[in-house]
Structure 1
Amino acid sequence: MKVGIILGSNELSRVAYAAMHSAIAVSLDNEVVLFATMDGVKAFLKTPDLRVTDDTSKVIKESREDVFQHFRRAKKSGKLKILACSYASKVHKLDKESYSELVDDIVGITSFSMEVEGGQLVSVW
């Protein structure tokens, strides 16, 4: 099955949830496509811009957990694709070189929708 995850936030707790959901879905032999949009693209910069405003994010930050380890592990399986939204990239003046190696491509919502058509969608805002 295909799983599409839309990540629209750079809040640490939400990025951590998207990372764990990606890793679990891949471990269950699903193909996962994560679409980072709006502030979510900031999480995938070479130097991630992560907000810490909620209690869960504060706890994660204090624990020094590397939430990106879940994305890296899932990417090694070959079943996770991470896409940055072209509109959000334009708004934030970002290009492919702005993003970490985790980002596979910059695409529009139509491309993402076609990629996960018929699959399960999870939205993380």
Structure 2
Amino acid sequence: MKTGIIIGSNEASRLAYAAMTSVIISSMGDEVYVFLTMDAVKAFTKTPEVKTEDVASKAMVEKKEEDYISLFKKAKKTNKVKIYACSYASKLFNLTKADYNELVDEIAGITSFSMDTEDAQIVSV
């Protein structure tokens, strides 16, 4: 089975939810395709920009919960997770592949993501 996760926000709580979902699904042996779009691309640069204004994000920071980066690293260790940075959002924010951290596999459009997630369950965060 395949799961596609679309992330459009750089809020810490949403990123953590997507990362936890990726860890769980990939650890069960299923493929996970993550599509980062709009503000979410900012959270995957070498100098990440993450919002922590919402209640859940603040609580995660206060309690020193595991962050989305370390969770996605765990998920990627399964070799079942692929992370795309949206080509449109990358262009919008003037980001190249060199600007992204090691978690991002490639810059691609929604068409590539859609082709890889054909017949998959899609989760939008």
**TM-score (normalised: structure 1):** 0.96
What is the CA-CA distance between 1:86 and the residue it aligns to? Answer: 0.1
What is the CA-CA distance between 1:64 and the residue it aligns to? Answer: 2.7
1:30 aligned partner: 30
Q: Are residue 101 (structure 1) and residue 98 (structure 2) matched?
A: no
Counterparts of 1:81-100 in structure 2 under 5 Å?
81-100=82-101
Distance (whole Å) between structure 1 residues aligned to residue 24 and residue 124 of structure 2: 16
Q: Are residue 39 (structure 1) and residue 39 (structure 2) matched?
A: yes
For structure 2, list consecutive stretches of 5 or more residues without a partner in the other structure.
Answer: none
Distance (whole Å) between structure 1 residues aligned to residue 5 and residue 104 of structure 2: 14
1:6-31 CA-to-partner distances (Å, cap 9, x unmatched) read 00000000000000000011011110
Instruction: Report SS of the residue matched to 1:24.
Output: helix
1:20-56 CA-to-partner distances (Å, cap 9, x unmatched) read 0000110111100000000010110112110011100
Q: Give the 4+ runs in structure 1 shifted more than 6 A.
A: none
Identity between Structure 1 and Structure 2 (%): 58
2:9 aligned partner: 9
1:81-112 CA-to-partner distances (Å, cap 9, x unmatched) read 01000000000110001100000000000000
What's the Cα RMSD here? Answer: 0.8
Structure 2 counterpart of 1:16, one-letter code: A
2:77 aligned partner: 76
Distance (whole Å) between structure 2 residues aligned to residue 81 and residue 56 of structure 1: 26
Instruction: Report SS of the residue matched to 1:122.
Output: strand
Structure 1 counterpart of 2:100, one-letter code: Y
What is the CA-CA distance between 1:63 and the residue it aligns to? Answer: 2.3
Distance (whole Å) between structure 1 residues aligned to residue 61 and residue 42 of structure 2: 17
Structure 2 counterpart of 1:27, one-letter code: S
2:111 aligned partner: 110
1:51 aligned partner: 51
